[in-house]
Amino acid sequence: MAQERILVTGAGGFIGHHLVNFLKKRGYWVRGVDIKAPEFAPTQADEFLLLDLRRWENCLVATKNIDELYALAADMGGMGFISANHSQILHNNLLINLHTLEAARSNGVKRYLFTSSACVYPEYKQTEASVLPLKEEDAYPAQPQDAYGWEKLVVEQLCTHYHNEHPIETRIVRFHNIFGPLGTWDGGREKAPAALCRKIAVAKLTGDPEIAIWGDGEQTRSFCYIDDCTTGIYKLMHSQYRQPLNLGQDRLVTINQLADIIADIAGITIKKKHIAGPQGVRGRNSDNTRLRQVLDWEPRVSLEEGLAQTYQWIESQVKIKMAEEAKTVE
């Protein structure tokens, strides 16, 4: 039997890079495509193409001779970036996904997994910190908070229509705050766990215990470790389930609690300084009932375990950056 050929778009990014490694360990031939190479470690892909998937002709090249496609390419970042770049995000991500899906169909790709987001859920269901876990059907009536969520919702519909009208199997996963090592941790596109790990590492290494937190820190989220994410999407790709499916932990924590857990891992006491800044919805949690039913599985890595791995890596990155900055000053 011929070796299955897999395409991972967004393979230069955080989740895409980890997914390539996951698939290589399972014996697949993997092509990675992105507008940039992975930043923190070399790719393990058999072939890595630097292509801008906003362009139709590049999508045709990327999807040629491919059996299964994991669509992770996106213009995205943390809440600071998402809340300030609506037109850019909607424009770029629609182009990427419209072209990639049609190119996949045109080139005979058999299976296509689209990575959606918990950002599709309506703002009116996420106004309280003690939010009820969000079920998949809660996405409608639709009212995502931002353009990032609207684009994801449109492409979910597109995937469903493609499956109904063309010989391509589509799968849709809704990520809930994936985190881990080898992800963006500085520069404005990082998400809350990475940002807090960086701030607390700086506090530890400089001896200044004050860290800034946007808002009152009582906004809530659930966070899912990267190893559970890659396992989950692989299982979904090879399941028979064609509707959108949540993938996240269902343990709700406040941002203040998240900071305290990381500070404990770092072995320091912090002082929180609450400042104005984008906070997103007040509360968001994943209902994993259907995930357990469909995959007979759920995320297994605890928040503490995942944060310990993530903090250790980010602290090492902060040390390198501080050493480089010290050399520049000399």
161/166 Cα distance (integer angstroms) = 8
Q: Any idea which residue has 């229509």 for tokens? A: 161
58/38 Cα distance (integer angstroms) = 19
> Active-site residue 148, yes or no?
yes
Residue type, 15: I
Backbone angles phi, psi at 192, to 5 degrees: -55, -50
Cβ density class 72-107: b for 16+ within 10 Å, e for less: bbbbbbbbbbbbebeeebbebbbbbbbbbbbbbbeb
List 148, 162, 225, 311, catalytic entry = 148
Nearest to 4 by CA among 73, 72, 65, 71: 65
Nearest to 40 by CA among 320, 324, 330, 255: 320
Residues forming the active site: 148
